[in-house]
Amino acid sequence: MTRDEIQNRISHINWFHTIDLGSGVVTPGDDDSPAKLRRLKVPNDLSGKTFLDIGAWDGFFSFEAERRGASRVMALDSYVWDGRVPGKSKEGFLAARSILNSDVEDLNMDAFELAPQKIGMWDVVLLAGVLYHVKHPWLLLEKAASVTKELLIVETFVDLRFLRRPAVALYPTDQIEKGHVENWCGPNPRAIKEILLNCGFTRVSIVYKTSLFRGALSAARRLVQFRYSPLAAIQQGRCVVHANR
């Protein structure tokens, strides 16, 4: 496809991911997907590996896994693809897959339905940007672990970072971001590690967490924008955890 043809194909889509579609066209997503990819530390070489992307949205990480040589890639979503996020849909994923001439498979399934009997086992499983949107984070991690053969990568919003005990902060309303009521919980890194060890992983490590500097900037922004408590916000951030069998 030419640059103009690609632009015409994607111009009406409300993108979340920032995907390089070739011919100099990059989707205008809200998310800095390449920067997030660097934080995830997905293995550079996935040759011969199967890859499951839970909460795939527009599919940036699914397509990247395919580019890194994965033998089979499955993009799984339901919340976004069913249109439960205002203005978002599966259309971005379908358009990107077509333009990239990708073989990434798609499965519309709720993550809580994950089970080896339904989708088999996958060498590498990615659970990015999903955990804090559910009311039962421990159960979701168990479900993701149940289909992970080698490596589970978890990226999520976290809270209570300075508490040494495993803990989860709960948000029954739009306490994290005004107008967004789909954010339900903020586990701390220690809680995520302990849950994953309980799920049978032998080695669990934090490979990325928001720096204190970035946390302070975020706290200042939210104080100004939402009158949000800086003492609460400074404990919040994001982290990436790798769990190995």
Position 70 in a domain: yes
Q: How many domains does the chain have?
A: 1
Position 147 in a domain: no
Judged by phi (left if over 0) then psi (alpha if -120 to 50, else beta), residue 134 lies in beta
Position 118 in a domain: no
Contact 152, 145 (CB under 8 A): yes
Task: State the pLDDT at residue 181.
Answer: 56
Judged by phi (left if over 0) then psi (alpha if -120 to 50, else beta), residue 178 lies in beta
Mean pLDDT of 48-64: 98
Position 224 in a domain: no
Tell me which residue range forms the domain holding 84.
1-109
> What percentage of the chain carries pLDDT values higher than 90?
82
Position 26 in a domain: yes
Position 145 in a domain: no
**pLDDT over threshold 70, residue 173:** yes
pLDDT band with cut points at 50, 70 and 90 for residue 86: confident
Position 23 in a domain: yes
pLDDT greater at residue 177 or residue 39:
39
Position 127 in a domain: no
